[in-house]
Structures are given as C-alpha cells and as structure tokens.
Chain A
Amino acid sequence: MVYLLRRLRVAMRVFRPLRCERLAATFVLCQMAICLTMAVPSSAQVVHYRHNSEMPPGAIGTWQLQRGGPLPGYFQPATISAPDGCAVSLATAGTFDDLQVHSRRAAFLIGQVYRLKVTQIPLHEGVEVFPTIEIIDRIYPPAGREFEFPIQIRITSDDLRQAMQGRLVTRVIYVEDPRSALPAAERPNQQYAFDVRKGDDPLQVADTLGRPVAILRLGARVPGPQGATARFLFGCPVWMVIPEGRPTKRAANAEDSRKVHQ
C-alpha cells in the first residue's frame, strides 16, 4: 500500500511539469465521457410529456407558442362540422353569430380558445351546448393552398349526448402519420375516431399516432344568467372567414381586416 501511494505521488510529480500534456489528456477524457453519454440508446430514455389533456383550455397552445417558429400570428384554417340539422355559431364581438349552418369554415389563431354554440340538436331542441376549440399546432400546405386543407374538427351526435348528460368530452385531433396510418379508405365527411381506455390521456395517445393539432372540449357548462361574459368566451379572440370557392394564393394572415371578426 505504501508502495502504491509512493508511486502515485511520483507520478503526480511527473505530470506536473507537462501542463500541455495534462490539459490534452483532460480534454480527451472529457470528450470521451461526452461521447459515452451520447451513445446511450434513446430507448433507455423515459418519455416525459409536458402536456396533458386535463390542463386548462389555452395552456397547451400557449406552451406551443413559446417554442417559436411560424406559429404566432398564423391563422390556421379549420372546418367545424356538427350533425345535420344542428346550428354552429362562433363567438364574435361578445356574442354568438346567428348563422344557421351545421358546418363552419374559419381560420383561428394558434394558442387561443374559441367558444362555440351548438343549437337545434335533433331530438333535443331547445338544448344548447357550448364547446370550445383550441388550435395547438398548424399544418404546412404548399404556398397559396392553405384553405384547401383545413383541420377537420367533427362534433358527433354522441359527443353532444355525452355533454348533455353532464360529462366532459375531450377530443384531440391529430395529423396521421402516413407510415402508421390505417389502410382503410376514407370517405368524404368521415374521420377515424376512437375512445381511449379509461385512465389514458387522449393527448398522449394522439401523440403516439401522429401530431396533435387541435383540442375540442364539450361539457355541460352554460353561460350564467347575465349571459356570455368575456371570461366565458375566453376574451372572444379574433378569427377569420375562409373565402368560399377556389382559394387564392394569398397567405392566411390577418392582413384583411374586413374579414377578421373580433
């Protein structure tokens, strides 16, 4: 033992004069440690999701905006469709518009929460459901063709029935990964949807199947006796009307103030 300590002390003396060699050796050892750390397989990492579907409306979109990139200020086109016979209204200027159509096409800001009103539900006339939609990501179609590929947000009859019974329905819309997409052919006005198992987070399940882009929430919450307040409407953020017919090459930005509703 005494011999080993003596040898170590002598070795330290030997290294002391060679400062450049010592620095080089230290640098090499540090680089080797970094390489070994990077060589750990990715499968050993545990995925930690920062978001879950139970976060308050608007929280996920706000986090997404903080990532940077082309998200802030972009109006993402979307189509909101309800069962035939229903009327879908969008909040504008502190109230709901009165368009009596079951499908709406509009462009929404990412990160904002938009309140809707669904009325004239078949077999439940007189009942009103107030869903919310939140765009949490965008898609990137070729320039000038943004309006041809809106995000498809579909409200089913079962969604409305569950909401009218007091339950909270959370539907996460995602872009399917083509390599793992279902091979079945899609028909018009059809979207593949399924329920997650009890206890599973739909946002995490959607993240395994593709890229989540929007969240639809339906519940039994209704405005108070004083009507729809600004808090109930989440500040009534602006949205933009999608022009009908063949879209032009104009990008979906908020340049045209005449078609922006606030």
Chain B
Amino acid sequence: MKFREYRTKQGLTWSTWWRWTMVAAGAIVLCSCRTSARPIAPSTSSGDIPLANTVANDLSIPTNGSLPPTAWSGQYPPGCRQWTPPGISQPWPKDEYICDGGDHGRPIRIDSDWTVRGIQMEDTIAHFDTLDGRTLVKPSNKVCIYAPRFGSVRSVLGADGFEGKESLVRHDIPTRIATEEEMLLANTTLQQTQTDRAVGSKRIAAQQLNAPGLQIANDLGLIEAHGGEKPYENLLSLQDGMYEQAELAELAMRTEAAAIWTIDKGVQVILDGTAAKIATGDARAQATYAIDHESKPNLRMIKVASTDVAQPGQIIEFTLQFENIGNEPIGNVTIIDNLTTRLEYVPDSETSSLAADFITTRNEGDSLILRWEITDPVSPGEGSTIHFKCRVR
C-alpha cells in the first residue's frame, strides 16, 4: 500500500502496465521461437495416407494376390534393424539409401489445367478429379532401398616445377631479295552440248464414269405389344402415381397384412448401397424414403519394391497399387513417379492392370518422370496395380 502511494506520488502509475506489457510481449516471442534442428518425425501431414508401418500392416490384408509376398514396403521388421542414433528419423544414414515415394518439401498442387506444381525427385503421387469438380492429391508411402555407392577424389603432391637459365644466342643470316614473274596467255574454250530433254503433250482420250443404281428396300414386320394393368391393379396410384382419398380405404385393406409386420421384418430400402430412412408417412403404401448422400472421395496408393538391398547395376521391380476407397467414382486418375537420380527406368518394363496412357519425361536428375493416366473412371472399391522396373545406377 505504501508502495502504491509512493508510486502515485512520484507520478509513475504507467510503470506497472508497461512492465507487464513487456513481459507479455517477451512471452509471445518465446512461444513463437523454434529451433531449426528439430528431429524430423514421420510425416503425418498427408491426412489419411497410411504411414510406412501401417502400409506394412496393410500388406497383410487381401490384395488379390497382386503384390509379391516379399514386397519391400520401406520399413524393417522389429528386431532386424542396424544401430541408429536415438531421435533420428529412419532410414539412417540417408546417404546409403535410395528412396522413392511420398511427397517431399512443399505439397504438390494441381492447377486447373492439370499442370503439376511442386513435384520433386523421389515423389510419387496420384491425383484425381471428384464429382464436385475438385482435384485431390494423394502421395504414396516411401520406399527406401539400401544401395550405397562410393566415389573418390585424389590429390597428387610432388615436385613438378623446373627452373633453368640459358644464355642468349644471336643468329644472323643475310638473304638476297628475289623476284619471280609468271606470264599467262588468255584463251577461249567452247563446249558443245546436245539437247537431252523433249517436252510433249497428250490429250485425254476417253473418260468413263459408271455409277451403279441404288435400290432401297426396307421391310418392317409387325410388332406385337403386350402390356396393360391387371384387373387388381386398377388403382390410380399405380397407373399415374397420384393418390386419391377415395382409394385410401382400398389401399388400407390390401396392405392390412403388412400392418402386422415388425420393423425388422418390414421392407428394407437401400439406395445406392446406403440404407434409406423413411422421410414421410408411416408403414403405409405411400411412404417416401430418402438417404443422406455425403461425398467422401478418397484414394489409397501403396508402393513396394522387390528387394531391400541392391548393388549398382541391379534391377529392382516396383509395384504401385492404388484403390478407390471413397464412396463415389473418381475420374482422371493420374499416377506420377519422379524417379531419383540413381534409378534408371528399364524401357518397356511397365504394365498396368487398367487401361492407361504411359508418358515419360526427363527430370532434372537425368532420370525420368513416369506418368500413368488412367483412361476410365474408377468406381468405389476398384483399383489397379502398376509394375515397372528400374536399374540401380
């Protein structure tokens, strides 16, 4: 209390809020600071894209036998790992592994004209169009193969210099000036040439045009039509779909048996694979059913390799398997694999279980960007498997 009086007497009432403002500002700065060398955790920014461990587990689910049992998903099983320093993301050390798959660095985005932005080497993604006009991108898992390669640099040290001194030597040889003249006589040469080409013309002798006559015959047989309502269907609601109050009593009489049905034994309505709920009416003939349709387009892509270690010159077979795990068809499905520098695509080694246009483009690492454009839309639950081979450089 004395301090407050003293402070008021000295005219320093501003100091309290000023100090607390400074403390708050410092706390905000502290909260916003980050260290640049934070350990990299496994990326989970891809939403529902499974992690590598999850992919390994997913390989145990039925995959129609299209994936080899020895497929390498990029992760070692527990208990079969080499020593690694704690807190460092796998694989380690990174300079001994060739990695392919995933989406590194800035997220890949697709322009309105399907131009791919931000794709880097080692990236493997799939993009597709949804029914509502969106273009979504889904990366695959990352596969790393142990394949170290060695290089060497050399320096040679030694006495390479030589320094010598020589005396000057003068050499003088007098020469006489000489003149040379040559006289040439003018002459004329004639060359006789004979005609080697004759030009003539011919008239058209005859021209005949034969056009066969056309005869069109079209016979249509009689078609017998069957149809009509049965006598017991003489209701306006069945004929025109309109309900009249006068027919309600008759309808109630005919659906009397259905009135004793329980809910479980009653009519179950399924629209587009989704259980429909009753919207209007009761257990009556004119009940209206409806479903809540929520758009959930999604795609899952798994990438595996045929081996986990490789020597330079060895050929590795990669398998890309994608599946529409959404609830609606997707179109313009495009698979893109930007190979790393040390992977060289083996020509004519790719196969796809679905019809696709295969396009290759040279990338900045003197390797290739592989691109599969699936021609037909992919229905929910449907997928494809792509195989291709690469040689380790």
Contact = CB atoms under 8 A, between A and B. Distances in A.
Interface in B125-173: 146, 148-159
Contact of A193 (B3, B98, B154): B154
Nearest to B97: A178
Contacts of A148: 309, 311
Contact of A170 (B83, B94, B154): B154
B56 to A, nearest CB: 16
Contacts of B312: 185-188
A166 interface: yes
B369 to A, nearest CB: 14
Interface stretch (B7-15, B43-51, B211-219, B320-328): B7-15
A133 to B, nearest CB: 12
Interface string B298-310: 0000000000110
Interface in B75-113: 76, 80-85, 92-99
B96 A140 contact: yes
Most B CB atoms within 10 A — which of A154, A166, A183, A211? A183
Nearest to B3: A17
A200 interface: yes
Nearest to A205: B153
B317 interface: no
Contact of B151 (A162, A179, A193, A195): A193
Contacts of A1: none
Contacts of A140: 82-84, 92-93, 96
A174 B10 CA distance: 72
Contact of B150 (A38, A152, A178, A195): A152
A29 interface: yes
A70 interface: yes
Contacts of B76: 142
* Interface of chain A, main secondary structure: mixed
B341 to A, nearest CB: 5
Contacts of A24: 23
A44 interface: no
Contacts of B92: 140
Given A31-B26, A142-B309, A209-B153, A178 B367 contact: no
A137 B144 CA distance: 22
Contacts of A38: 33, 35-36
Contacts of B308: 142
Interface string A56-72: 00000000000001100
B154 A171 contact: yes
A14 B155 CA distance: 69
A11 B12 contact: yes
Contact of A175 (B96, B311, B344): B96
B153 A178 contact: no
Interface in A142-197: 142-143, 145, 148-149, 151-152, 154, 159, 162, 165-188, 191-196
A196 B155 contact: yes
Contacts of B94: 178
B150 to A, nearest CB: 5
B341 A183 contact: yes
Contact of B157 (A28, A152, A170, A213): A170
B152 A188 contact: no
Contacts of B146: 141-142, 145, 149
Contacts of A169: 154-156
B121 interface: yes
Contacts of B29: 32, 35
B98 A178 contact: yes
A237 interface: no
A222 B110 CA distance: 66
B313 A188 contact: yes
A42 B151 contact: no
Nearest to A199: B155
B382 interface: no
Nearest to B12: A14
Contacts of A213: 150
27 contacts: A14-B10, A14-B12, A17-B3, A35-B30, A38-B35, A140-B93, A142-B82, A168-B156, A168-B158, A170-B156, A171-B152, A174-B152, A176-B95, A176-B150, A178-B94, A178-B149, A178-B342, A179-B340, A182-B341, A183-B342, A183-B367, A185-B393, A186-B312, A202-B154, A206-B153, A209-B153, A210-B151
